[in-house]
A and B are shown apart, each in its own frame.
Chain A
Amino acid sequence: MRSMIDWIGAGVAIAVLASVPLLAGSNYLVVVLTVALCNAMWAASWDFMSGLTGRENFGHALFIGAGAYTAGFLNTALDLNPWWGLPSSAIVAVLFSLVIGIPTLRLRGPYFALAMLSGATVMQSLTIIFSEYTGGQDGLNGIFPILDSQTAYYYLTLAIAVATVASLKFIALSPWGTILRAIRGDEATCQAAGINVSFYKITALMISAAFAGLGGALYAHALLQVGPDLFAVILSINTIILVYIGGMGTIYGPAGAALLFSLLIEKLRFLSEYRLWVYTLILIFILFFLPKGLVAPAWVWLRERLSGRRRKRAEDAVA
């Protein structure tokens, strides 16, 4: 019963997202949502690692930027067909995760957070210093779109994002996910029980990086530009905020929050200079009053309502 409603809910969400280009008059909303889907992938991938294992990664932008710049490079510097960018970005992001992840395996809590943050910051500075190769502060421009039609590209991104969330959720619900959660609970006990904790920690990071990098590549081909802002601290922090609002550990919650809040910040344009202030106010509100987040608990509440009603109808039918 529970999983049936989940499936229906997912189906409805995807249907709504798929119908947007048909209802919208211009590219505006389609491009905004394409970017929002990339944000959703970043949030979901962060949640997978940090939400499950409890090791908060304050440098997620490292993987995002790595993926985005890879896609950009292959396209502008090497003139390769943009389709190559997608798998390559994931691979490069995974490589980065190994480089930073293996030395920092034994770190936890704020120590791990800071190490990851440092990694991303170093990358950002390097990108600016070596401007001849990376385009410096202005970044790489003139990236080719993968598909000429903005709408077609939106559907591609939607498909990949849905596949991402589904895969991550699948892994999270599997025995693998259980082990990751156990590691958050008590690492020492897991180790004592014979589980190779390091293996699980590093693979979780790799998976998280792969999808973040993929999202970065999709972002690069949507905006046709990459810049050092993709390694910035603020990007990592915004991703974490979205996950928190979505509901840590649920995977779909952060994705939903990313979509909602990307739309919200666009819709708030009518507030002109006050836009970000109102946005932050809303954030504080949610953070304070809804410590478990907004999106996932809202869905759980909705699900209870729906399943309760169905059960009642079934009971009435019998009686």
Chain B
Amino acid sequence: MKSKSYLTLALAGAAALGLAASARAEDKPIVIGVNTAIQLQVGRDAIDATKLAIDEINAKGGVIGRKLEMVVADEGEAAADGPKMGIAAVNKLTGEDHVNVLLGGYDSGVTLGELPHIIRAKTIFLGIGSASPAIQNKMKDDYDHYKYIFRVNPINSAKQAKGLVDFISGKLKGELGYQKISIIGENAKWVQDVVPALKKGAEDAGMTVPLAEFFDVQTADFSPLFAKVKDNGSQYLLIILSHAASDVFVKQWYDAKVPVPIGGIDVKGQDANFFDRVGGKSIAEVSTNFILRAPLTDKTVPFWDAFVKAYDRPPVYTAPGAYDAVYIYADAVRRAKSTDTDAVIKALEQTDFVGTRGRVVFDELHEVKDGPGFVNELFVQWQNDGKRVVVWPKDIATGKMISPPWLVQN
């Protein structure tokens, strides 16, 4: 008799505890850790876009009944600190703040440095800014080890290069009939990997490439470069700038009235206020972009407007990436019905989500897919009065490409 009542009491107590525990688990917020360079525009925009997405989702009731929360850790300036600040940031977020997921990244070197530490902590990482293929390629060797790493944004630099080769052969050779182009890029590792591929692509298309050179990120004076390109008779100058001083580059190009149009990857040239920042001197420059205030999907313009309304400035490329990443994570957690890491990874791999930049699907390397219907690299040109016109790919072009004002119109 007595043992039965003790048993009942024990069972009841256990049930009560169990209920209490699960209730507490349901109240616990889902923590999103953001590791980014908070002193840079890309970092600030990533943080603000994450906050925007979190606020929107929380207003609609959160995810599986739980609210989303954000913790930020500074990766520092890669050029000065190297990856050590980023590594400390990741360790802090996973070890002390116990985040459920990491979101962030900008400098590929820092992200690569952080990877072993993220993996050691068995935490999912959604990349929103680093472009090096090396980050996701590690999946090829050891899926179980690296399965935590996903890239939501941007499409990696190898794919961007492929897009560039398309632009070279399709637009420059195909439509404009150029025969000679020069290629210059800053000496970041991914650029050093990409430029030979670009050269080959151009040559395969029947063009000659008299100059393919690199320059230090800190270069302040590009006049020798412009002079050489002018002298070798190039008809177009393909540029790859990421950390380097795009502002100075275009200003010097404009001031010297270099008779060679420029275009390519110019990360800083993606900024909505770039044209004004350089006093209009980026006119006729083509730069790849991933977001514009244009209906790439039906979520693009609402996001853009919401961001501008909340933060009084237009977003840079990491912002839509972060915004989409939060929604994608939330979607995966909903489908997995839990925040258990392995379950969410499986759910993430099944992602088919229409974000602000296009339809997001991950390939077997956890890379965001590119191509028609997915996320695309747009070639956008600065035209008069700072208007931005998509000049390539052909099927989504919104206008014709123009020449710099000092060149004869062709």
- Give me the interface of A with B, judged by CB distance under 8 Å: 25-28, 31-32, 35, 125, 128-129, 131-132, 135-139, 141-142, 145, 150, 223-225, 227, 229-230, 232, 234, 266, 269, 272-273, 275
Contact = CB atoms under 8 A, between A and B. Distances in A.
A234 B94 CA distance: 29
Interface string B97-121: 0000000000011001101110011
B79 interface: yes
Contacts of A272: 38, 72, 74
B192 A136 contact: yes
B88 A31 contact: yes
Contacts of A139: 82, 109, 113
A169 B132 CA distance: 45
A93 to B, nearest CB: 18
Given A223-B83, A227-B83, A138 B188 contact: yes
B313 interface: no
A145 B189 CA distance: 24
Given A131-B187, A137-B188, A139-B109, A27 B91 contact: yes
Nearest to A125: B216
28 contacts: A27-B121, A28-B94, A31-B88, A31-B117, A35-B84, A125-B216, A128-B187, A128-B216, A136-B192, A137-B188, A137-B189, A137-B217, A138-B108, A139-B82, A141-B113, A145-B116, A223-B84, A223-B87, A223-B113, A224-B113, A225-B82, A225-B112, A225-B113, A229-B80, A266-B88, A269-B74, A269-B92, A272-B74
B38 A138 contact: no
Contacts of B121: 27
B143 to A, nearest CB: 16
A28 B108 contact: no
Given A125-B216, A223-B83, A229-B81, A138 B112 contact: yes
B176 interface: no
Contacts of A230: 82
B38 A32 contact: no
B371 interface: no
Contacts of A229: 78-82
Contacts of B115: 141
B39 interface: yes
Interface string B187-225: 111101000000000000000000000101100000000
Contacts of B108: 138
A230 B113 CA distance: 14
A60 to B, nearest CB: 16
B189 A32 contact: no
Interface in B44-79: 72-74, 78-79
Interface residues of B, number: 39
B95 interface: yes
Interface string B113-134: 1011100110000000000101
Given A141-B112, A227-B109, A272-B74, A28 B38 contact: no
B144 interface: no
A166 B134 CA distance: 42
Contacts of A269: 73-74, 92
Given A27-B120, A227-B109, A275 B74 contact: yes
A124 B190 CA distance: 18
Nearest to B47: A272
Nearest to B141: A142
A278 B87 CA distance: 22
B187 A136 contact: yes
A101 B80 CA distance: 26
B250 to A, nearest CB: 22
A150 B121 CA distance: 12
A28 B116 contact: no
B96 interface: yes
Contacts of B138: 142
What 5 A-B pairs come out closest when comparing CB atoms? Answer: A26-B95, A229-B82, A225-B113, A28-B95, A136-B189
Given A136-B187, A141-B112, A223-B83, A26 B96 contact: yes
A145 B119 CA distance: 14
Contacts of A128: 187, 216
A223 B87 CA distance: 7
A26 B96 CA distance: 7
Residue of A26, A135, A139, A141 ringed by the most chain B CB atoms within 10 A: A141
A280 B115 CA distance: 30
A128 B95 CA distance: 33
A137 B109 contact: yes
